[in-house]
Amino acid sequence: AALREAQEEVDLPIATAEILGRMHPVLSRRLMSVTPVVAYLPNLDLARLRPNPEEVSSVFAVSLEHLTHPETLAWYGVQVPRESMPRQVPAFRLLPDLAALAPRHEGQDLAPGAPEDEVSIWGLTGYLLHAL
């Protein structure tokens, strides 16, 4: 189901996808169960992906080297209903060249406490990347 969803969202060529594993299901902030799938797609051409504008604002690649660089990771406190203390959530700051590929759109949430000009991968996606 996850690969089919990715195909619908960005026209991902799933025929060549090799599933490497599945992560534990998590709940989104809208209380939907999400089971992330990690897959390898040989020869993936980002330029050929077609984002569904109702679901995806941009598509870009981030290297594992970037995600594992210590200065990339930031933590921000998010208030969760029915919890007295803010929950610390990870955010992966994007360098200017990547940030230019992922412009912030009107109405798009900024990681709570992040500088106004910061572009980062956070929320459920940031959480899942950090869990890898």
Percent over 90 (pLDDT), the chain? 21
- Cα gap 66→94, rounded to integer Å: 8
Residue-level pLDDT at 105: 62
Residue-level pLDDT at 8: 92
Asked whether the predicted pLDDT for residue 107 surpasses 70, the reply is: no
Between residues 63 and 106, the one the model is more confident about: 63
pLDDT band at 82 (very low <50, low <70, confident <90, very high): confident
Task: List, in order, residues 6 or more apart from 1 with CB less than 8 Å away.
Answer: 35
Residue-level pLDDT at 106: 63
Helix, strand, coil share of the chain (percent; to 5):
25, 20, 55
Cα dist. 97→48, 62, 80, 101 in Å?
Answer: 20, 11, 32, 7
Beta bridge partners, 15, equal none
Between residues 83 and 52, the one the model is more confident about: 52
Long-range contacts of 94-99 (CB under 8 A, 24+ apart): 94/62, 94/119, 94/120, 94/121, 95/66, 98/60, 98/62, 98/66
In which residue are the tokens 């995600």 written? 67
Q: 0.75 cut: is pTM over it?
A: yes
